[in-house]
Amino acid sequence: MNFACTEMASPVGELAIAVANGRLVALCFEGIWDRRVRSLERRFPGARFEAVRDPAGVRSRLTQYFEGDLDALAPIEVECWGTPFQRSVWAELQRIPVGETRTYSEVARAIGQPAAVRAVGTANGANPVAIVVPCHRVIGSNGTLTGFGGGLPNKKWLLDHEGAQLRVFPADPAERKRRAA
């Protein structure tokens, strides 16, 4: 398989992009790209990586997004290889509107697996196309920012950029449970 690749500077650091057959297959923060390449090489023996300025227009769309066009990422086609469970989580992440957040437990309920909260977190962390599949929009059950491969300051920047209002959840577990029902 051939991968068209590029890197770009962004407000959340250097990003690496890979596209195959016109679909985004990797969007990685600095320090993650080498691991993603090894994963792609294992999946596709003989994979070739070619430097391209703007593969499938993804770089341009990301630039538009960072400049304030929050809908610029919507047309990007993605191809995420993973387990059926992971793909269901990633599909649900794409349904979270710009400017909104969900908790891991809300995502678990939305995919029909309410007890799989930790597994949702693991799938979220394995997301191969950060930002476009918006794993940054998933927050902790108490409304705090948790776990993000690009770092929590970048998660906060992305949520602020999108105008997301972090929800504050009651400290009392019984009240949280009542509100979640």
Catalytic residues: 135
- Both tokens of 108, joined, read 């678990």
Whether 46 and 88 have beta carbons less than 8 Å apart is answered as: no
DSSP 135: G
Cα–Cα distance, 154 to 152 (Å, whole number): 5
Burial class, 122, CB count within 10 angstroms (exposed 0-12 / middle 13-18 / buried 19+): middle
Whether 36 and 49 have beta carbons less than 8 Å apart is answered as: no
Residue type at position 30? E
